[in-house]
Chains A and B, each alone.
Chain A
Amino acid sequence: MTVYNKRKHTLLAYMFFLPFGILLVVFKLIPFVNSVRMVFYKWDVLGTPQFIGLANFTRMFSDRVFLTSLWHTFYFVILTVPPILILSFLIAVLANSKIYGKGFVRSAFYLPYTLTISVVCLTWALLYNPYFGMISKVTKFFGLKTINWLVDPLWAMPAVSITTVWWTMGFSIVLYIAGLQQIPSSYYEAAELDGASSFKKMIFITIPLLKRVHILVIVTQIIASLQIFGQVYIMTAGGPAGKTRTVMQYIYEQGFRYFRMGYAQSMAFIMFLIMLVFAYLQLRLMISSSKEELI
């Protein structure tokens, strides 16, 4: 390339990048810088911001509600990530095995993921109702005790988690199916020649070869679960007695109900730090996945 062409090429490259770059700076980077600044202020939106140093953070770590919300958020991660990992793997294996109606099975499990969050939560809230919900009909049929799902402090978070697993698992299933399709059938054929059972094939071939997908599903799901808001907001509003209040819910309450913008942003900043670790892992994982096959 000539010098002129090279310069033109560079100019063109920057021009192509420009729209994305501007939007990124305006809607991500500038708000991020502002968000870091905000944590040092007390501000109720209508008045003038007041500089208070690190007071938001000292307050946060003596705020019992914040600390329990943080725990509830982790609890939700624990309740959702392992089930999604295991169930979506098993279902993907089943949907990818030699069966009739593969398309139907895949659609059935992915379908909930296409529904909007409100539809999912409003429907499940009614299903969970102990007096006229269908789940109590089923548990009664099997002679089990009726659970007051969304009002019982023990069951409220598991109930929200079950709904979330049902709703979002389809996405991980797609990832697993993608991974499964890349395992060369020669591996299985060789194992069959050695007389390996289906179980052994799964333990020694499928699971280890999908290591990268497992990690991808875990990390992506942890990030998604840490941000839980809508399900709790719609199904329990953080209740009973704050037992399902997660950090995002608390940020919403403090920021947009009581208008403590600085305090809410300080909590959001802590969430940012926690998620940064996982986001970094996710990125590393995805970049390295380009160098080798998914499996």
Chain B
Amino acid sequence: MRKALLVICIAALLSAIVSAKTTITVWTFFSGGEGFIVTDLIKKFNAENPDIEVVEQIVEWGELYNKLTTAVVAGDPPDVSVMHLAMIPDFASRGALTPIDAYASKDILSDYVPEIISKAHYNNKLYAIPIDTHPLVMYYNKKLLKKAGLVDQNGEALIPKTWDELIKYAKTAKEKLGLEVSITAENGPMVGERLFMAYYTQLGGEFYDAKTNSIKLDLEKAKKTYEFIKGLYDSGIIKSMDYNTAESLFQNDQSVFHLNGVWAMAVYPTLNLEFGVTSVPALEGSKPYTWADSHTWVLPKHPKDDPNKIKAAVKFIEWFARNAAEWAKAGHLPVLNSVLKSDAFLSLPMRKDYAQVANFVVPAPSMKGWVEIRQKMWEISQSVILGETSAEQAAKQLQQAIKDVLAD
């Protein structure tokens, strides 16, 4: 009898402890190196905060936004979700996010790089806590460059500073080493959206117009950009391929240059790969402008707000933002001034090689309809690469697509 009582007491106690915990579900699309870091950070947060339990759920990168919308509609969204900064207007305007002004602490907001935190707002309400910025950069294989004789007088691998240099080196390396390709990049988002925006901006074009909150396309510059992309593929130094193939070839010493986001830094240093990382090449006379987007944490809208959950969720995402030096191990650049200046960040390997990229980033447009416009950009550039559409037609198609999406 006493035993039974004891058991009941313990059970009651346990359930009291368990129920006192606030569970926060978090959707991420992080994987590989990035994934491990997020998982570790969540573990650390859970250990430091016994009253909150953060549970991570991984969703496919390409499907997160669709699934999030359906989940909000179904009234069953996660408490926290990762979201690209550029997506916030799309979701906030549809009422799918919870504003967090009342919950966020003032000191963290004033610590942000101003351009980033301003984009986390929609109609003057704060909807997101940004955690990084991740630009497009260029990776190069030192071993292959040396093998191809592309070295300076000190025997160090030559790093192309301009597009012309890149093309020249890539051609030389391809011939000397008998490679199938010497530059690899995924043919959809990487080339059609990110490389496009980088080159277009380097031409002096302005892609996103903040005043009208829409895209103002300069047809002539768009045409030139498509001509440039077409030229790269026509010369044979780069071929059309998917993301996995592009990465695999670079990792396997089968390609000299690789265009990818900084997130690849989460993995490359762990491989047996002699590589370097730098900003994308620049046009003669231009700065090496490059595309970038940011990861943020948002609170999807529930049918009923639960202040306790929101408080716990905001506590977690602010904690995460403050620990961004840890997150920066995945390759991303921090967006809090205090983290940017911290030793923890600056002492990470190779960061000095690309930290300066942050000064030349062109953020993905934070505007409604961007999801659809970028999909069109991927396809239009693919069809340019395949020779199905001329550069001029492509520029017009893009202009029309932007018009159609914005009108709808």
- List the B side residues contacting A129 at CB < 8 Å: 245
**Cβ of B239 and Cβ of A132 under 8 Å apart?**
no
Give A250 Cβ to nearest chain B Cβ, in Å. Answer: 12
Of B65, B240, B248, which contacts A151 at CB under 8 A? B240
Cross-chain pair count, CB within 8 angstroms: 63
Q: Is the interface of B mostly helix, strand, loop or mixed?
A: helix
Give the contact stretch, choosing among B12-20, B264-272, B291-299, B382-390.
Answer: B382-390
Could you give, for residues 98-139 of chain A, a 1 whenever the CB lies within 8 Å of some chain B CB and a 0 otherwise? Answer: 000000000000000000000000000000010110000000
**Cβ of A257 and Cβ of B371 under 8 Å apart?**
yes
Q: Nearest B residue to A236 by beta-carbon distance?
A: B242
Give the contact stretch, choosing among B67-75, B115-123, B306-314, B346-354.
Answer: B67-75
**Cβ of B248 and Cβ of A239 under 8 Å apart?**
no
- List the A side residues contacting B69 at CB < 8 Å: 45-46, 259
Flag whether A158 is at the interface (Cβ < 8 A): no
Flag whether B379 is at the interface (Cβ < 8 A): yes
Flag whether A51 is at the interface (Cβ < 8 A): no
Of B180, B375, B386, which contacts A153 at CB under 8 A? B386
A198 vs B96: C-alpha distance in the bound complex, in angstroms?
A: 69
Flag whether A82 is at the interface (Cβ < 8 A): no
Give B70 Cβ to nearest chain A Cβ, in Å. Answer: 7
A240 vs B380: C-alpha distance in the bound complex, in angstroms?
A: 10
- List the A side residues contacting B188 at CB < 8 Å: 239
A283 vs B37: C-alpha distance in the bound complex, in angstroms?
A: 56
A148 vs B246: C-alpha distance in the bound complex, in angstroms?
A: 13
Of residues 235 through 289 on chain A, the ones whose CB sits less than 8 Å from some CB of chain B are 237, 239-242, 253, 256-260
A260 vs B96: C-alpha distance in the bound complex, in angstroms?
A: 16
A131 and B386 in contact, given A256-B66, A258-B371 (Cβ under 8 angstroms): no
A interface bracket (residues with beta carbon within 8 Å of B): 20 to 34
**Cβ of A132 and Cβ of B248 under 8 Å apart?**
yes
A148 vs B372: C-alpha distance in the bound complex, in angstroms?
A: 27
**Cβ of A46 and Cβ of B94 under 8 Å apart?**
yes
Flag whether B95 is at the interface (Cβ < 8 A): yes
A150 vs B243: C-alpha distance in the bound complex, in angstroms?
A: 13
**Cβ of B242 and Cβ of A151 under 8 Å apart?**
yes
**Cβ of A240 and Cβ of B240 under 8 Å apart?**
yes
- List the A side residues contacting B380 at CB < 8 Å: 241
List the interface of chain B (C-beta within 8 A of A).
Answer: 62, 65-66, 69-70, 72-73, 94-96, 180, 187-188, 239-242, 245, 248-249, 254, 371-372, 375, 378-380, 382-383, 385-386, 388-389, 408
Q: A132-B248, A239-B382, A242-B382 are in contact. List 19 more A-B contacts (CB 8 A).
A: A45-B73, A46-B69, A46-B73, A129-B245, A131-B241, A131-B254, A148-B240, A239-B187, A239-B188, A239-B378, A240-B386, A241-B379, A241-B385, A242-B383, A253-B375, A256-B70, A257-B371, A257-B372, A257-B375
